[in-house]
Structure 1
Amino acid sequence: MNTIARTIDYKGETCIELISGDYRALIAPFNGSNVMKLENTALDIDVFRNDPELTPAQLKAAAEIYGMPTLYLPNRLSHGNLKTSDAMYHFPCNDPLGNHLHGFLHLRNHDVKEVTADGNNAIGKTSYTYDENDEFFSTYPVSFRADFTFTLTPEGLNYEFTLTNLSDRQMPYGVCNHVAFKGPFTSSGKGEDVRLCVPVGDKWELDEHAIPTEKNLPITDYDLQYKNGTMIPVLKDIDNDLYTAEMNELDGKPFYGVYITDTATGKRICYEVDDTMKFWIMWNDHGDKGYFCPEPMSWNIDAPNLSGDPSVTGYTELAPGESKTVRERIFTTVQ
């Protein structure tokens, strides 16, 4: 079986290429350890939005809407405020609604730590240490290390993301994957044949600044399309549909994640997430660009500033020296 793990040149930047079985992945350390491409060549499935014509600079400028970027912190902080148990930080407002959006980790150039092939496993490891050398440190002086491990096997891609608090302060712990799935995801597919299944629970109301009011909305027939897997996630505008996560089912078995189906062929992309991820938010950039983002988040939008109990908002912290790891996997099947 063909198993390859190596670094390659991508228009002047270093990329990690992993090949195992029918799968091929490209990891971009220069773009925040983004999984810039994942494909099953035998099934003609191209999982993530990607564009080989883009330069590294262009990819960095659009880091959230290509591939699989990892965000620290998730989504929005109202007015840029981040309240922790021992401090208050004020992040710059970088979205038109007057909030801070998406954090900074996915915008940094990460280090390649290891690239190895072990049997059928093609493995790439990257890391970033956030400290006083980072331009953002004067705003947020909480040092940490982010470690990524990507393991490609003949069964798909396994992802591990570890945050370690290197500071003497409490570190807010909120993570999100701003996954940009292609729709359609096969070379001959049609957008109208794509269906998305998301195990949605409570629906959260957002105010005019896209911040939770902390009220739940009634579940409608529209929302149930996510739950029963009939939602067409492209060709219409989906703008911040926010839900508490529940357990899904895949082929009769419990499955904590989402899956996407091409109804014409039965081909599927399956995205299983860590149970740390307590919320799903759906967005598709107006639905006319051939991609959509079902984003798992460990905490709710603006969780540090919400009044609800942390068991409801998902807010949590890492103590000095503490680590936490998120594990996810993406694989493809045919019904």
Structure 2
Amino acid sequence: MTIKAYAGTYQGESAIWLQAGSYEAAVLPEIGANLIAFRDVVKAYHFLHEPTLEEMEAFKARPVIHGIPVLFPPNRYEDGKFPWKDKIYELPINEPRTGNHLHGFVHNIPWRVEKFSADETESQVTLALQVREGHSVYTYLPHDFTIRLTYTLDASGLHQRIRVHNEGKDSMPCLLAFHTSINAPFAPNSQASDYSFKMTIGHRWEMNERMLPTGEFQSLSENEEKIKVGGISPFFESLDNHYTVSPQNGRNYMELTDSRAGVKLVYDVGTSYKQWMIWNNGATEGFFCPEPQMNLVNAPNVDLPADQIGLVSLEPGEIWEETGRLYCIG
């Protein structure tokens, strides 16, 4: 089995490539440490929504709907502000339509490659974003901290480990998500109509006209109830919805089944992610985004218990860490 980790390019951008058996993956250090490709080269499966060469400029301008972007802090914040302890954080309003801040500051800036390596069983890359005074992120989140992201590829698939370390002298908010973009279809001889999915969703949050949660739940539709058990298309209707997580059998996951190819892609994320976001680009076939989020949209501005809405505080020296995995069955 060929196992390699090496520096190369992806559509003209600097990339670290990993190989392990039939699998390969690529991460873009200069564009938010985005894991832009995960493939089975033997079966010609492309699991993630990748930008074409013609789409690269648009991707670099808005690197959110391809690969696995890191959102920190994720999703929307009312009027670009939120309270934390005795501070008010002020973020740029970058979504004029809603008057909110959207998606944070780390998905479109360079990360540092700490190391990449391979041995007889796996290949691996670790990237880090160290924030200190003078860093662009520090302008809006004035804390000393490091986000460290490791991807490992082996014969069983792709493993992800994310860690946030508060290296400062005061508590900081830890609000994070992945805007994961999954192809449907991912197999070359399949169509979107061959695909159905399952996710460990719980309740749907009610959103107002600014796409901010009211703090109330809405009843799931009959089709949304089917998401919990599987067997429904990821494009059954336009989805731009936020849900609580309801683990099944101790796991928090999305499964995407290709009935034609007889294969199932599993996206297994940790139970530290208390929320799921599902976005399917207006029910446009081709890809959809099952997004694991630590926190509810606008969480610091929502008057609900911190544990319920995933509002995590890191005290000085503390570390938050979670893992995820993408792999195939069949």
Deviations 1:3-45 (A, max 9, x none): 0111113355321100001110001111111110001123332
CA-CA distance at 1:59 after TM superposition: 2.7
* Partner Cα distance (1:122, 1:54) in 2: 30
Given that 1:183 and 1:234 are in contact with CA atoms closer than 8 Å, whether structure 2 keeps it comes out as no
CA-CA distance at 1:261 after TM superposition: 0.7
Residue number in structure 2 paired with 1:262: 258
Given that 2:208 and 2:214 are in contact with CA atoms closer than 8 Å, whether structure 1 keeps it comes out as yes
* Partner Cα distance (2:77, 2:310) in 1: 14
* Partner Cα distance (2:266, 2:218) in 1: 28
AA of the residue aligned to 1:122: S
Residue number in structure 1 paired with 2:183: 182
- Cα separation, partners in 2 of 1:55 and 1:193, compared to 1, 3 Å: closer
- Alignment partner of 1:125 is 2:126: yes
Given that 2:251 and 2:270 are in contact with CA atoms closer than 8 Å, whether structure 1 keeps it comes out as no
Deviations 1:174-218 (A, max 9, x none): 110100001111112111121110111122111111111111112
Alignment of structure 1 residues 104-253 onto 2, 5 Å: 104-234=105-235, 236-239=237-240, 241-248=241-248
SS state at 2:26 partner: strand
Given that 2:280 and 2:287 are in contact with CA atoms closer than 8 Å, whether structure 1 keeps it comes out as yes
AA of the residue aligned to 1:164: H
* Partner Cα distance (2:271, 2:314) in 1: 17
Alignment of structure 1 residues 72-87 onto 2, 5 Å: 72-87=72-87
CA-CA distance at 1:256 after TM superposition: 2.1
Given that 2:49 and 2:287 are in contact with CA atoms closer than 8 Å, whether structure 1 keeps it comes out as yes
* Partner Cα distance (1:9, 1:222) in 2: 42
CA-CA distance at 1:136 after TM superposition: 4.1
CA-CA distance at 1:268 after TM superposition: 1.4
Residue number in structure 2 paired with 1:23: 23
AA of the residue aligned to 1:77: Y
* Partner Cα distance (2:282, 2:220) in 1: 22
Q: Please identify, of 148-157 and 264-273, the stretch whose mean Cα deviation from structure 2 is larger.
A: 264-273
**TM-score w.r.t. structure 1 length?**
0.93
- Alignment partner of 1:296 is 2:288: no
Given that 2:277 and 2:292 are in contact with CA atoms closer than 8 Å, whether structure 1 keeps it comes out as yes
AA of the residue aligned to 2:276: W
SS state at 2:117 partner: strand
AA of the residue aligned to 2:116: V
- Alignment partner of 1:278 is 2:279: no
SS state at 2:64 partner: helix
AA of the residue aligned to 1:273: V
* Partner Cα distance (2:253, 2:25) in 1: 21
**TM-score w.r.t. structure 2 length?**
0.95
Given that 2:272 and 2:322 are in contact with CA atoms closer than 8 Å, whether structure 1 keeps it comes out as yes
SS state at 1:286 partner: coil
* Partner Cα distance (2:209, 2:261) in 1: 40
Unaligned runs of 5+ in 2: none
AA of the residue aligned to 2:305: D
Given that 1:248 and 1:258 are in contact with CA atoms closer than 8 Å, whether structure 2 keeps it comes out as no
Residue number in structure 2 paired with 1:34: 34
* Partner Cα distance (2:143, 2:247) in 1: 34
Given that 2:192 and 2:285 are in contact with CA atoms closer than 8 Å, whether structure 1 keeps it comes out as no
Deviations 1:22-79 (A, max 9, x none): 1100011111111100011233321100034157644321311000111111211111
SS state at 1:64 partner: coil
Unaligned runs of 5+ in 1: none
Q: Please identify, of 318-327 and 230-239, the stretch whose mean Cα deviation from structure 2 is larger.
A: 230-239
* Partner Cα distance (1:325, 1:139) in 2: 22
SS state at 1:24 partner: strand
